[in-house]
Amino acid sequence: MRSAPTILHLDMDAFFAQAEQASKPSLRGKAVVVGGLGPRGVVATASYEARVYGVHSAMPMAQARRLAPNAAYLVPRFGFYRSISEQVMGLLRALSPLVEPLSLDEAFVDLEAGGAASDAESARLAGARLRADIRAVTGLTGSVGLAASKMLAKIASERAKPDGLVLIEPGTERALLGPLSVRTLPGVGPATGDHLRRAGIHTVDELAEAGEDELVRLLGKAHGHALYGMALAHDERPVVAERETKSVSVEDTYDIDIHDRLRVGLEVQRLADRCVGRLRGAGLSGRTIVLKVRRYDFSTLTRSETLRGPTDDPAVVREAAARLLDSVDTTGGVRLLGVGVSGLADYTQEDLFAQAAGGAAESPEAEPVDEPAPEPAEPAERHWSAGHDVRHSEHGHGWVQGSGVGRVTVRFETPQSAPGRIRTFRVDDPALEPADPLPLVRRRPAEATEPAAEAEADTAATPGTGTAGAPGTTGAAGPPGGGTALGVG
C-alpha cells in the first residue's frame, strides 16, 4: 500500500435526484424519487429528503410511494445525467490520466500518477479544489474520499456524504476498519455477510481475528484469502483507466405479465435489435448470445449459445435468441426479458472472411423495390413522462408534473428562475412540444478559467461535512480545505 493518501474516490451525492432538484427550483429541499413509475418500477435514486422516510435505491416504487406519498416521482432523464457526468469526468481527467469510472456518478482517481498530489496536504487541496470545480461547472455537489488504497478511499467518501471530504491518514487504517461491519468490505454482499454472521463474525476486527485459514475454510481459497487481506487493510488494486467491457445487454420489465407466446417472441426480437444497436455503437461484436427470462413466480432462467465467430449482425442475434427462447417454458407468464452478447471482440467473423479474400469482394448494391405506399395511420396519443422537459409556444420552458385522462400538467420554470406556475393542457395541444434540458449553470465566457481559484477559496471558507465519531476524528469544523481527517492518535 502507498505511504500517502493519493487515491481519490468521488461519489456524486444522490446524483439523479440532485440533478432534478437543480434543474427544477420548485423541488429544491423537497423529497424527490427518480425511477420507473410503473407498477413494477424500482427506485434509481432518492434525494436525501426522501431517504428520511426510508426510501432508498433498488426499492420497489410501490413501497416508496407508501413511505413517502408526497414526494415528487420522476422518470429518469439519462441523456441529461450523462451530459453532466461527462463534465465531471473531464474535471477528473484534468487531475490525472488514471481515472477509473465505476458509473455515471462515481470514479477513482490516482492523484500521484497525474502529479496532482504526493502527500496528505497536497491530496487534501486537490480534493477540495475538485469539489469546488464540480460545483462551479455543474452546480452539483460531490463527496470525496482520500486514502492510500481504493477500498479505503471508497469508505472515506461514504463517510463524507453528503457534500464533504474525508481523508484517512496512513497508519490509522486498521483502527478505523476494526469496529466496522464486515459488509463494509468489497465483495461482502448479503449472502457472504449472512454466512459470516452464522459463524459469529460481525465486524472487521472479528474477521481478522478469525485468521486466514478459517476464512478460507468458510469462503473458499480465493475469497477467503482476499477478504483476510482487506481485513488487515491490505488493498493493492491499482486504478485502471480503461475497464474492459465484458458484455452488452438490454432488458425490460413488464407492468403486466406477458402470457402470449407470440408477444414474448416479438419482445425478444425487439430486445435483440436494441442489443445489437448498443453493440455497434461501441464498435464491438460478440460470440455468445444470452437470453434472460424472469417468470411470473420470480424464477429467473438464463440460456446461452456460443457462435463460431463474433458477430454484430442483428439477424444472427435475433435467430440465436429465438432458438434460446424455444427451450424456455413461458406458460405461466413472463415479467422480464433480456438479451445480451458476451465474448466481445472489436471485429466480426465477416471481417475475417474479407481479410482472407484479400478484401476484393464487395457487397452488390441492392436493387430498388417498388413498395406500396403505407396507409396513413391514426396519430398515436402523445406520451408525457413525469419530470421531462417541454416547451410551450406561449409560456416557455417547463417540465411535466404528471399526465392522464387526456391532460398533461406542466410547471414552467428553469434552473435559474424562481419556482414557476402550473398549467394544464390537452395531451395533443399543438403549442406544447418536448424540449432538451437546459444547462444547470449559466456561465459567461470570462468565467471559463475562474472556477478553480474562486471555488477553492469558497471551499476553505465553508467546511465540508466529514463524518465525526470515528476514533481520532477532528472536530466538527474540520481541517482546512473543507474536509475531515480520519486517524487514530
Residues designated catalytic = 106
Q: In residues, how long is the chain?
A: 489
SS3 state at 257: strand
Spatial distance between the Cα atoms of 399 and 422, rounded to a whole number of angstroms: 10
> Which residues have C-beta within 8 Å of that of residue 311, sequence separation ≥ 6?
285, 286, 287, 317, 348, 349, 350
Residue found under cell 418536448 = 434
Dihedral-angle region of residue 270 (phi above 0 means left; psi in -120 to 50 means alpha; beta otherwise): alpha
Around 309, how many Cα atoms within 13 Å sit in the side-chain half-sphere? 9
Spatial distance between the Cα atoms of 345 and 76, rounded to a whole number of angstroms: 31
Check the CA dihedral 312-315-321-324 and report its sign: negative
CB atoms within 10 A of CB 489: 7
Shortest CA distance to 23 belongs to which of 443, 442, 439, 436?
439
Answer for the pair 279, 341: CB distance below 8 angstroms, yes or no: yes
Q: What is the DSSP letter of 60?
A: B
Q: Which residues of 6-20 are buried (b: 16+ CB within 10 A; e: fewer)?
A: bbbbbbbbbbbbbbb
**How far is CA 72 from each of CA 28, 67, 134, 333, 485, rounded to the nearest angstrom?**
11, 12, 26, 32, 36
Residue found under cell 403505407 = 374
Answer for the pair 337, 268: CB distance below 8 angstroms, yes or no: yes
Shortest CA distance to 387 belongs to which of 13, 39, 40, 44?
44
Tell me the residue type at 160: A
Spatial distance between the Cα atoms of 140 and 133, rounded to a whole number of angstroms: 10
Spatial distance between the Cα atoms of 196 and 92, rounded to a whole number of angstroms: 37
Beta bridge partners of 73: 33
SS3 state at 410: strand
In 96-189, alpha helices (H): 120-138, 150-160, 173-177
